[in-house]
Amino acid sequence: MASPTNRALERYKSAITAATSVVGAAMLLRRLVAGVLPAGTPPLVGALLLLPPPSARRHAVVIEEFDGAFYNRVFLAVRAYVSTLLAAAPTGAPPVVKASLPRGAGAGAEQIRLAMGPGTAVVDVFRGAELTWRLRSHGHGGGAGEAFRLSFDGQHRDLALGAYLPFVMARFEAMARDRRQAKLYSNEWGKWRSVRLRNASTFATLAMDAALRQDVLDDLGRFLGQKEYYERTGWAWKRGYLIHGPPGTGKSSLVAAMSNHLHFDVYDLDLGAVRSNTELRKLLIRMKSRSILLIEDVDCASVTAQSREADASNPAPKHQKVTLSGLLSMVDGLWSSSGHERILVFTTNHMDRLDPALIRPGRMDKRIHMGYCGFGAFKELAAIYHGVDAHRLFPEIEALLREVDVAPAELAEKLLATDDADAALETAAKLLRDREAGIEEDGGGYVKQKLHVGPTRARPRPRPVPAPARGVSAARQVVFGEEIVLGISRRQGHGSGRRGAGQGGSGMRGLGRGRR
């Protein structure tokens, strides 16, 4: 027989169980009611139902590591973004985090990636709303996986889903572009071959006028931010630059600086290796977006303009490769719209030799003249190479630069010849003094070669070069319909004039093939 104490204990347990069931049912009912109430429900109704205020209701989004059998791209973006939150040490960051170094990254502190451990959380503030990221482990198929849980107040649901998560994805894409190593592509047998672009040129290291540098940077920035403009106007999202100037003025370095600034790949197109207009179009289609197409020394490219005037009586020769019309179609025809965010760069030492149809407005949107070195550019070179901002030789060098033409590459060579700043500046000043006095260097200096431009005439196919005078050989090369005759003098022994002429012509034909 149960004692009174045992009966009281049993009644107490039953009451506790009943109360727990009632409280649980009430909480479940309250949660269901809170879920079906419209957003505009008056606060008084919620208070009568004992509902918490809207600010106290929490919503959550779970982002798992795997989406089926593949990695979830949103998870990867969140992991990279949370790493930046941990590095910035925001309020509410976990006291212990994990550190790792991505494969192939350098040993610098900026390459270290921080991560949370399972069960930890970090708080982010976006447009005044607090959002909490929590990492947890879970089972996935036969193995373990991880998932991020983003929780926020119910009133911030639209902000979290419509603005915050797209913001996280955009930050991830920007970080991926910044960490990405640009590549240099070259065409070979109708295909692109790539290597890493290791040129360290930047706009900060270029010897160019400060106003011109800023103008180019502003133009590139406007181009990147005009996606909606190009879509609205129906134009292909591309921009053409013609960079012209004497040799050694930094044209190629400017292209490398553009690539490093934009994190764009560079496709260095050798038109001489392209076998037809069809192959040219295929190469263009295989280019990636967000890239630079570079055609260097376009005035020396193996392109003819005859196809534009060709007719039945004067057909294009069979050996002709890329025609000017094919090149123009690539620049601004239908094939130019096969990608977006592309920059087309032509470089030339002689802009006056280019066909006007190639450089008219609309094809080349901006012309950049890389001229001889001025005093401002020289001061930048001295500061970059030797950390010199002022020197006793600066007034003399400034006066000499007003009188003589010298390429930045020539002065850079002198400044890099020694680690002694005074000796390097003295060597650069001597170069300018000698140039003003008309003294040419010998033994490793720059050697000038005279080019004699003959009259323009159409030549459907190469003709044999007539035998020159004794001791002189000549070779001809057709560049955009103009004939350039390179004269070379060579002393021959008695009776060797014919053999010497043949050797000279063969040598220059080899040079012509190399330039293509």
Q: What integer pLDDT is reported at residue 10 of this predicted model? A: 79
The rounded distance, in Å, linking the Cα atoms of 365 and 363 is 6
Q: What integer pLDDT is reported at residue 266 of this predicted model? A: 93
| Higher pLDDT pick, 376 / 441 | 376
Q: Reply yes or no on whether the pLDDT at 485 is more than 60.
A: no
Q: Are 292 and 254 in contact (CB under 8 A)?
A: no
The rounded distance, in Å, linking the Cα atoms of 264 and 343 is 9
% of the chain surpassing 70 pLDDT:
68
Confidence category of residue 91, pLDDT binned at 50, 70, 90: low
pLDDT in tens, 164-192: 999 999 888 888 777 777 889 999 888 89
Q: What integer pLDDT is reported at residue 233 of this predicted model? A: 82
pLDDT in tens, 225-277: 888 888 888 788 888 899 999 888 889 999 999 998 888 999 999 888 888 88
Q: What integer pLDDT is reported at residue 258 of this predicted model? A: 92
Q: What integer pLDDT is reported at residue 25 of this predicted model? A: 72
Residue 481 phi/psi, 5-degree rounding, is: 85, -5
**One-letter amino acid identity for 310?**
A
In DSSP terms, 61 is beta-bridged to: 150
Q: What integer pLDDT is reported at residue 106 of this predicted model? A: 53
Q: Reply yes or no on whether the pLDDT at 21 is more than 70.
A: yes
The rounded distance, in Å, linking the Cα atoms of 371 and 352 is 15
pLDDT in tens, 304-343: 444 444 444 455 454 457 777 777 777 776 656 666 788 9
Q: What integer pLDDT is reported at residue 303 of this predicted model? A: 56
Q: What integer pLDDT is reported at residue 273 of this predicted model? A: 86
What tokens appear for 31 in the block?
């949660």
Q: What is the mean pLDDT of residues 117-133?
A: 87
| Higher pLDDT pick, 3 / 318 | 3
Q: What integer pLDDT is reported at residue 197 of this predicted model? A: 81
Rg of the chain in Å (alpha carbons): 35
| Higher pLDDT pick, 154 / 27 | 154
DSSP 161-203: IIIIHHHHHHHHHHHHHHHPPPEEEEEETTEEEEEE------T
Lowest-confidence region among 41-45, 198-202, 323-327: 41-45
Query: Burial of 114 by CB count in 10 Å (0-12 exposed, 13-18 middle, 19+ buried)?
Result: middle
Q: What integer pLDDT is reported at residue 32 of this predicted model? A: 60
Q: Reply yes or no on whether the pLDDT at 420 is more than 80.
A: yes
The rounded distance, in Å, linking the Cα atoms of 317 and 460 is 6
**One-letter amino acid identity for 257?**
A
The rounded distance, in Å, linking the Cα atoms of 448 and 438 is 13
Domains of the chain (ranges; CATH) run: 4-52 (no CATH), 57-179+475-485 (no CATH), 183-199+238-369 (3.40.50.300), 375-445 (no CATH)
Q: What is the pLDDT of the chain when averaged over all its residues?
A: 74
Task: Please tell me the pTM assigned to this model.
Answer: 0.58
The rounded distance, in Å, linking the Cα atoms of 132 and 206 is 45
pLDDT in tens, 70-85: 788 899 889 889 888 8
Q: What integer pLDDT is reported at residue 228 of this predicted model? A: 84
